[in-house]
């Protein structure tokens, strides 16, 4: 957890790296498959070097930048922004899935969020409650549209200033994080705030990388979700907002047409939107 008044790329990057390191992961990858992947990575890099006739100065800049990314703790950020969408896409296609489209998890997921009822309000501060309220409802179903018993919708998103709880100072631990236990037919209704677009941490090497090619560090407003049900493949996805700023030019290139919401203001003054999740059966 950071201790500075305002979070920085260094602080949030280290928080993401510490979380990732604490989980420790492994993959059941054969020696032959690993060798094939490594060869292709190096061959692709060699091709780039020769194609662009990379100079020694440019090579030294690359080494220094890679060292900086590690020292700032930004590898989870950089990889999730620039690589994860490709990993997600190839796994969806490889498995010939037919359910709701997935999207990137990003570096700010935290397991174990508080369990909430099927009709609930997300944990939030008084200042969050003053933002534009969003009533987000729907149903978790199978591929035929039948509601699923035992379904859960795990939701997390940034506050109006673009900060995530547990990755910025002064925010309660589970702010805008919760695991909603749907009713017996998979229905849920969640009251939260409508998030705003935000810049990914960009005062460190990830930001320097973006500036080097004239890009921008903005992500469109979005909700993160992890949806599960017994006997079904879980999905991790993000939902965006129609007409929102940066939807067409998301720095993480994670927006998909099927994942765009179109909230409408109700008579109660709140924005309302419905979205159903269809889950594929387990193999």
**CATH code (residue 87):** 2.60.130.10
| Whole-number Cα distances in Å, 127 to 21, 164, 260 | 33, 15, 26
| Contact between 136 and 187 (Cβ < 8 Å) | no
Once rounded to an integer, what is the mean pLDDT over residues 49-77? 95
The pLDDT score that the predictor gives to residue 270 is 95
The pLDDT score that the predictor gives to residue 33 is 96
The pLDDT score that the predictor gives to residue 2 is 36
Query: Residue 143: how many CB atoms within 10 A of its CB?
Result: 14
pLDDT over threshold 90, residue 5:
no
pLDDT over threshold 80, residue 11:
no
Mean of all residue pLDDT scores within the chain: 92
Q: How many domains is the chain partitioned into structurally?
A: 1
pLDDT over threshold 60, residue 211:
yes
The pLDDT score that the predictor gives to residue 283 is 77
The tens digit of pLDDT for each residue in 245-274 reads 999 999 999 999 999 999 999 999 999 999
Domain with 131 in it: 1-283
The pLDDT score that the predictor gives to residue 12 is 62
Once rounded to an integer, what is the mean pLDDT over residues 155-182? 94
Once rounded to an integer, what is the mean pLDDT over residues 88-104? 89
Place 136 in a pLDDT band, splitting at 50, 70 and 90.
very high
Q: Record the pTM.
A: 0.86
């Amino acid at each position: 957890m950071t201790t500075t008044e305002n979070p920085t790329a260094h602080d949030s990057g280290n928080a993401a790296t510490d979380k990732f390191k604490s989980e420790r992961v492994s993959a059941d990858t054969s020696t032959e498959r690993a060798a094939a992947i490594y060869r292709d990575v190096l061959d692709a890099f060699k091709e780039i070097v020769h194609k662009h006739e990379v100079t020694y100065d440019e090579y030294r800049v690359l080494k220094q930048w890679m060292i900086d990314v590690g020292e700032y703790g930004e590898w989870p950020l950089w990889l999730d922004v620039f690589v994860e969408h490709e990993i997600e896409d190839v796994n969806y296609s490889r498995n010939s899935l037919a359910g709701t489209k997935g999207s990137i998890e990003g570096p700010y997921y935290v397991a174990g969020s508080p369990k909430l009822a099927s009709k609930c309000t997300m944990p939030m501060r008084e200042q969050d409650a003053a933002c534009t309220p969003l009533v987000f409802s729907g149903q978790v179903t199978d591929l035929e549209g039948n509601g699923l018993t035992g379904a859960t919708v795990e939701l997390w998103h940034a506050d109006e200033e673009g900060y995530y709880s547990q990755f910025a100072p002064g925010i309660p631990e589970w702010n805008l994080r919760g695991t909603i236990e749907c009713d017996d037919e998979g229905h849920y209704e969640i009251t939260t705030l409508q998030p705003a677009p935000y810049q990914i941490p960009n005062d460190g090497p990830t930001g320097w990388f973006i500036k080097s090619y004239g890009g921008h560090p903005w992500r469109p407003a979005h909700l993160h979700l992890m949806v599960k049900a017994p006997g079904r493949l879980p999905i991790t996805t993000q939902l965006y907002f129609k007409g929102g700023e940066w939807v067409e030019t998301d720095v993480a290139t994670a927006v998909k047409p099927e994942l765009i919401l179109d909230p409408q203001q109700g008579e109660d003054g709140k924005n309302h939107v419905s979205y159903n999740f269809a889950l594929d059966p387990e193999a």
